Copies of this chain bind each other. A is one copy, B any other.
Amino acid sequence: MTAPQLPASLISTLPGRYYSDAQIFDQEQDRLFHPYWWGFTHLSDLDAPGKYRTAQVGKENVIVVRGHDGALRAFLNVCRHRGTRLCPEEYGEVKRNFRCSYHSWTYGLDGKLVTAPHIAKMPDIDPVEWGLKQVHVREYLGYAWVCLAEEPPSFEDTVIRTVTERFADETAIDNWAIPDLKVGRRISYEVKANWKIVIENFMECYHCASIHPEFVGVVTEYAKGYAAQHYVGRGISFGEDAEAFTLDGTGGFGKLPDVTEEQDRKYWGVTINPQVFINLVPDHVIFHRMFPVAVDRTIVECDWLYAKDVPDSGAALDHSVELFHRINQQDFEACERCQVNMKSRVYEPGGVLVPHEHHIGSAFHDWFTKAFGEP
């Protein structure tokens, strides 16, 4: 089946094998996941010396840890001796060092090899050369970001520019004061779909009227199907009856102090390739990070961020959290229903994007094709 000649209304997605071929996923890990900045975890997981978090980034398991000097550092989670996973847990805290459970090689929070049994008999082992393999790390928007590349791309030209370009005004996002917010809830989803299907889903709202009744009940403008991501500076308005971004439009937490009137009562979404989604509403922020683990399986970790005093006051968050939790469930089920057909002859040349979705081509597929190259 050859690719049909497409009418002008339609442009093609990537061919089906890009969503279903394990070998292409393997290439993506080297060409797309390792060379880009990666939203890793919220800084509150790392808010004291020795606190660490681990997660899978492409082919590597990574540790991010707060040092006694207050600096954040990231390392491959691999003992240099015999390859043991140094920190097998996702979250943890050590006093001064990482001690490998197998042979007790011990590394400082700066990655240096501090000691090992009988190290005195190995005087030629340089503690830095034989320290943990360091990975680049940055702090931004309250999150630790890592990059596995030896020479990462400019954080300013990639991550920060993507965020600021979304708004007409470069400082617009500062009004949410995201670094000051607190994680009120974290939910991790296992999605049986390729990560690119999850991105495509997030980038368009042509599906919103079909699968998100609660969402379009609040953000009524979305019932029209337009995704506003590609309109610079444009948020999507709540309905007249909606007081807040909650399941039924009632009972939110007002608005964050610096969010302007113009920003209020709107929803704003940002996609940072390849794996972060940020959702801004007046009283909170929903922050997604994807961790693709197989061609057809993606872990999505989603944080709900609130002004510190909201969770601190013991306010019930369920009603607020539930709206995007349902959106997530509805989206991921849709993604899974697509994944099962990615090897069909119908999808061999790819699916199609309607005008409401054409920006996926320019903002994601073009980026992908340029970064990935040929399989």
- Using a CB–CB cutoff of 8 Å, the interface residues on chain A facing chain B are 4, 7-10, 13, 16, 59-61, 76-85, 88, 100-104, 116-118, 121-126, 129, 133, 200, 206-207, 209-211, 225, 334, 337-338, 340-347, 351-352, 354-356
CB contact between A122 and one of B9, B101, B117, B126 (< 8 Å): that residue: B9
CB-CB < 8 A to A78: which residues of B?
A: 341, 344, 346-347
Q: How far is the CA of A215 from the CA of B13 in the complex (A)?
A: 56
Question: In the complex, what's the smallest C-beta–C-beta distance from A110 to chain B, in angstroms?
Answer: 17
Question: In the complex, what's the smallest C-beta–C-beta distance from A96 to chain B, in angstroms?
Answer: 18
Question: In the complex, what's the smallest C-beta–C-beta distance from A350 to chain B, in angstroms?
Answer: 9
Residues A340 and B85 in contact in the complex (CB < 8 Å), given A76-B346, A118-B356, A121-B355: yes
Cβ of B102 and Cβ of A351 under 8 Å apart?
no
Residues A117 and B225 in contact in the complex (CB < 8 Å), given A101-B334, A210-B104, A337-B84: yes
Report 10 cross-chain contacts, Cβ distance below 8 Å, ordered by A residue.
A4-B129, A10-B125, A81-B354, A82-B338, A84-B334, A84-B337, A85-B337, A85-B340, A101-B211, A118-B354
Residues A354 and B116 in contact in the complex (CB < 8 Å), given A8-B124, A9-B121, A122-B10: yes
Cβ of A343 and Cβ of B59 under 8 Å apart?
yes
CB-CB < 8 A to A133: which residues of B?
A: 345-346
List the number of copies, as a whole number.
3
CB-CB < 8 A to A77: which residues of B?
A: 341
CB contact between A342 and one of B4, B83, B354 (< 8 Å): that residue: B83
CB-CB < 8 A to A125: which residues of B?
A: 7, 9-10
Cβ of B59 and Cβ of A344 under 8 Å apart?
yes
Q: How far is the CA of A345 from the CA of B80 in the complex (A)?
A: 11
CB-CB < 8 A to A122: which residues of B?
A: 7, 9-10, 354-355
Residues A344 and B10 in contact in the complex (CB < 8 Å), given A207-B103, A210-B101: no
Cβ of A101 and Cβ of B337 under 8 Å apart?
yes
Cβ of B9 and Cβ of A124 under 8 Å apart?
yes
